[in-house]
């Protein structure tokens, strides 16, 4: 039987999808006033601990081309089958003030992830969102981003760099056996990954399909598993849009990968949702490449999560 990491290991972090950052202070009064709010802010639970609610807005210490795009472009899309938080302008029409931006607050709560049917509902909302944004052009900031998520995205969609010598080739191969097999095959290890992750990356790359590269790319929200909320009698609400220019299957693979790693989803979830193994494998590569760049990460715990999910895929 496939052994999942112990519950105490799976749930010991505050937020499994993101990584702890230094908690920011509350938005200054001048920021609140710039958005037309005259009441104190209160910190919202979850996430990275940097979200504050005041009035009908949610404030975050984020500003830049992404927030401008969210306000100017994403606000124009039709909303059928989902709700979407909107970027809120300041009283002067700007999309940020002194390093802070704001979005509208919409009613919704985190679903019960232990109910497998919830994942089908999340997938339906994701597909409705992606149909709505399919016509949008590629934003310029996609190619200029240099944060760890952007770097991880490029790793997940690239081939490992070639070794520069015969010695390097030998040093960057490892023996990997298929599940249920005693026969190990030497495969190339991506030297960009730390030793705890490199063999897993090799296994995941075996599950990738060349057809993925031929799928049409569009704007996708690549962090949907924890960013679709539900409320009675209302469509699901999409929050915290994380835009990438990739096939829709990548975003759906991200939902399943996160469900397997962080939300105790059953190993057969990809089959139940009919999400291709190759899409989930690439999503796991992306998540692992993100973790790989954090020196303080609890590597052994993260490796255990990714190992379990990789084995669940039969890789």
pTM of the entire predicted model? 0.84
> Is residue 53 within 8 Å of residue 105, measured between CB atoms?
yes
Q: Please report the pLDDT score of residue 168 as a whole number.
A: 41
Q: Please report the pLDDT score of residue 179 as a whole number.
A: 41
155 vs 253: CA distance, rounded Å:
16
Strand 83-84 to strand 42-43: parallel, antiparallel, or no bridges (unpaired)? unpaired
Helix (H, G, I), strand (E, B) or coil at 216: coil
286 vs 201: CA distance, rounded Å:
10
C-alpha neighbours within 13 Å on the C-beta side of residue 235: 15
Q: Please report the pLDDT score of residue 159 as a whole number.
A: 79
Q: Please report the pLDDT score of residue 163 as a whole number.
A: 52
Q: Please report the pLDDT score of residue 294 as a whole number.
A: 84
Q: Please report the pLDDT score of residue 180 as a whole number.
A: 44
> Is residue 10 within 8 Å of residue 305, measured between CB atoms?
yes
pLDDT digits (tens, 9 = 90+) for 273-314: 999 999 999 999 999 999 998 876 667 888 899 999 999 999
> Is residue 92 within 8 Å of residue 82, measured between CB atoms?
no
Low pLDDT (below 70) residues in the chain:
1-24, 47, 161-190, 296-298
> Is residue 107 within 8 Å of residue 234, measured between CB atoms?
yes
Q: Please report the pLDDT score of residue 187 as a whole number.
A: 47
304 vs 252: CA distance, rounded Å:
22
Nearest to 256 by CA among 240, 229, 277: 277
């Amino acid at each position: 039987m496939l052994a999942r990491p112990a519950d105490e290991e799976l749930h010991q972090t505050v937020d499994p999808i993101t990584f702890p950052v230094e908690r920011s202070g509350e938005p200054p009064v001048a920021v609140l006033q710039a958005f037309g709010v005259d009441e104190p802010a209160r910190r919202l639970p979850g996430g990275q601990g940097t979200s504050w609610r005041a009035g009908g807005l949610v404030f975050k210490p984020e500003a830049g081309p992404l927030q401008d795009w969210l306000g100017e472009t994403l606000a124009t899309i039709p909303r059928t089958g989902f709700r979407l938080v909107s970027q809120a302008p300041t009283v002067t029409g700007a999309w940020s003030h002194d390093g802070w931006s704001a979005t509208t607050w919409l009613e919704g709560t985190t679903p019960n992830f232990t109910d497998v049917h919830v994942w089908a509902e999340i997938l339906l909302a994701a597909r409705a969102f992606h149909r709505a944004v399919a016509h949008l052009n590629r934003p310029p900031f996609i190619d200029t981003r240099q944060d760890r998520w952007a770097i991880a995205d490029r790793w997940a969609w690239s081939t490992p760099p070639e070794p520069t010598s015969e010695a390097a080739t030998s040093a960057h191969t490892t023996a990997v056996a298929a599940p249920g097999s005693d026969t190990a095959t030497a495969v190339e290890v991506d030297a960009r990954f730390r030793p705890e992750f490199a063999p897993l990356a090799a296994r995941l790359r075996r599950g990738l399909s060349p057809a993925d590269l031929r799928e049409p790319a569009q704007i996708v929200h690549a962090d949907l598993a924890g960013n679709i909320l539900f409320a009675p009698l209302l469509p699901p609400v999409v929050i915290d849009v994380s835009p990438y220019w990739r096939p829709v299957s990548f975003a759906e693979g991200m939902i399943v990968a996160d469900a397997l790693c962080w939300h105790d989803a059953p190993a057969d979830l990809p089959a139940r949702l009919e999400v291709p193994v190759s899409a989930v494998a690439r999503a796991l590569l992306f998540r692992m490449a993100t973790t790989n760049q954090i020196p303080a990460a609890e590597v052994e715990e993260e490796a255990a999560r990714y190992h379990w999910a990789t084995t669940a895929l039969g890789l």
